[in-house]
Structures are given as C-alpha cells and as structure tokens.
Amino acid sequence: MSDAAPAPHPACHLAGVSCAGQDLGAADLRLAVFEGVDFTGADFRRATLDLARFVDCDLRGARFDEASLRGVEVRGGTARGATFKAVIAPLAQFRHADLADAVFDAAQLRDVDFAGANLRMASFEFADLRGAVLRGTDVSGALLAGANLAQCEAPNVNFSDAVLRAANLAGADLRLCYFDHADMEAAVLSGAVLAGASLRFTRLARAVLSGASLANARMTATVVDGASFDRARLTGAEVVDVTFSDEQLAAMTARPAG
C-alpha cells in the first residue's frame, strides 16, 4: 500500500494532508481548495492555479515560477522563501500572508492585494505591481529595483532599508510610510502622496518628485542630488541636514519649513 499523498486534480479539495516536495509542475489546479496542506518544497512551476485557494497551508520553499495564479487566494499559513518568478497573478489575494524572503521577480501582480502581509526581505525586482494594495505591509529590506508600483495603495508601509532604485511609484498613495535608509535613486514619484512620510537617511538622488506631496514629511540627511522637485509641495515638512539647490527650491510649489 502506497504512502504517497493523493494527487490533486482540477477543482479538488484537499485538507490536512502532506504534499511536501511533490512535483505538481504544469498541473491544472484551477478552482482547487487546499486547507492545512503541507506543500513545503513542492513544485508548482508552470501550473495553472487560477482562482485556487490556499488556506492555512505551509508553502515554505515552494516554487510557483511561471505559474498562472489569476485570482488565487493565499490566506494564513506561511510561504516564506517561496518563489513566484514571472507568475501571472492579477487580482490575487495575499492578505496578511507571511511572504518573508519570497521572490516575485518579473511577476505580473496588477491589482494584487497584499494588505497586512509580511514582505520583509522579499524580492520584486522588475515586477508589475500597478494598482496593488500594500496597505500596512512590512516591506523592510525588500528588493524592488525597477518595479512598477504606479497608482498603488500603500499607506503606512514600512519600506525601511528597501531598494527601490528606478522603481515607478507615480501617483502612489504613500502616506505615513517609512523610507528610512531606503535606496530610491532615480525612482519616479511624480504625483505621489508622501504626506507624513519618513525619509530619514534616504537616497533620492536623481529621483523624480514632480507634483508630489511631501506635506509634513520628515527628511533627515536625505540625499537629493539631481532630484526633480518641480511643483512638489513640502508644506510643513521637517527638514534637517538636507541640501536643496536653489533650482530645486525655486521649482517647488511650497517649500519646507526648515
């Protein structure tokens, strides 16, 4: 009698079993429901998981690279260190998910909901996160170089120590975010709302902040060499040891207090 875990199939429902290390690559698992399943180290590469649900599952180290995850839901459990490279996952839900150290490089994540998720040290390099919801997430130390976060909803997010070089955050809601020690060189923040944000020891060299709102933001030793502040509003901003050029100050709609 075989001790192998049951093989999932389309629209299946598995609960409380172990599929650790199983090869599910290229499988058709649309609409499947997995509850409390152990998928540690499982291989879902190039699988179709549209509208599937993972509830309280262990996805540590699982590989989803190039899989189709349209509308998938990951709720509870953990997916630490899982890889989602180049997945297609518009409208997916990862609310309050533990995704520390996960890799989403080059993933298509438009309008994905990551609200409250743990994204510490995760990688989203060159990922498409346009319109994504990141409200209340911890993205500290994450790699987001070249990522497209235009129009994303990300108030009260911890971006401390994150790498956002050349990232696109145009029109993003970044109120009350922490960017302390973050590398945002050449990032695009045109029209972004950074009211009350903390930008202490942040690197903004060559960043584009045209039309951005930095009202009541806190800037200490922020590097702004070559950054564009055309029509930027810094009303009530707390500025310490930041050297703006005369050209930058002249371009602002409202200058900082100090």
End-to-end distance of the chain based on CA atoms, in angstroms?
76
Average pLDDT, integer, range 92-113: 97
Q: Which fold has domain 114-258?
A: Pectate Lyase C-like (2.160.20)
Residues 213-227 pLDDT 10s:
999 999 999 999 999
Give me the chain's average pLDDT, please.
95
Nearest C-alpha neighbor of 229 from the set 254, 209, 246: 209
**Domain boundary assignment for the chain:** 10-85+98-111, 114-258
Average pLDDT, integer, range 122-142: 98
Distances (CA, A) of 151 to 131, 133, 188, 248, 257: 5, 9, 12, 25, 28
Higher-confidence residue of 219 and 1: namely 219
Q: Report the alpha-carbon distance of residue 57 to residue 74 in Å, rounded.
A: 8
Residue-wise DSSP of 61-72: T-B-TT-B-TT-
Contact between residue 180 and residue 164 where contact means Cβ atoms under 8 Å apart: no
Please report which confidence band the pLDDT of residue 258 belongs to, taking 50, 70 and 90 as the band edges.
low
Indicate the pTM of the whole model: 0.92
The domains spanning 10-85+98-111 and 114-258 adopt the same CATH topology: yes
Domain 10-85+98-111, CATH 2.160.20.80 — does that match?
Answer: yes
